[in-house]
Amino acid sequence: MFKKIKNVLVDQLKTGVSPEKLTDAVIAGALVGVFPLLGATTALAFLSGYFFKLNQVVIQAVNYLFYPVQLLMIPVYIKVVSLIFNVGDVPIRPDFILKKFNENFLEFFRLYGLIALYAIFLWIIGSIILFFLLRPLVVKFIYKLKGVQKWNG
């Protein structure tokens, strides 16, 4: 899988995409890929690419790659939100969550709706911070893919 992504990145560099724009698309794809709500990442990746004029192929490919990470992060979001915002002890067992969702959506929404809003808030703050922390590292990697050993950024 990683080799396929690397090939996509190299192909995009060959078409003339700048390493900086490619870096932004990779990071945006990764950050969007761990958005706290299932089923929203493809549209969010498209909108991010559209509004920030990022490479759609790259942002969607990286977003797709991060789907397993998103699944692993959902219990983390629930736990962190319940600790920080004192929303009470909410069960994070996947079987319980799915059962509530399928049996009684209003009860599910009552339990997890506020947590989802807080998780989105934390995701926004964390994504902004991570974008700027990751950018120098990822751009160096992209420049190495392009064959340029030094980045002066």
Q: For the chain, what is the domain count?
A: 1
pLDDT, residue 151, reads: 47
In a structure prediction context, what are the per-residue pLDDT tens digits for the chain, which is 153 residues long? 677 778 888 888 888 889 999 999 999 999 999 999 999 999 999 999 999 999 999 999 999 999 999 999 998 998 899 889 888 778 888 888 889 889 998 988 888 899 999 999 999 999 999 999 999 999 999 998 887 544 455
Q: Within a domain: residue 153?
A: no
Q: Within a domain: residue 35?
A: yes
Q: Within a domain: residue 104?
A: yes
pLDDT, residue 82, reads: 87
User: What range defines the domain where residue 138 resides?
Assistant: 2-146
Q: Within a domain: residue 63?
A: yes
pLDDT, residue 42, reads: 97
User: What is the pTM for the complete model shown?
Assistant: 0.86
Q: Within a domain: residue 20?
A: yes
Q: Are 55 and 62 in contact (CB under 8 A)?
A: no
Q: What is the DSSP string of 10-74?
A: HHHHHTT--HHHHHHHHHHHHHHHT-SSTT-HHHHHHHHHHHTT--HHHHHHHHHHTHHHHHHHH
How many Å apart are CA 86 and CA 10, to the nearest integer?
A: 46
Q: Within a domain: residue 151?
A: no
Q: Are 123 and 36 in contact (CB under 8 A)?
A: yes
Q: Within a domain: residue 152?
A: no
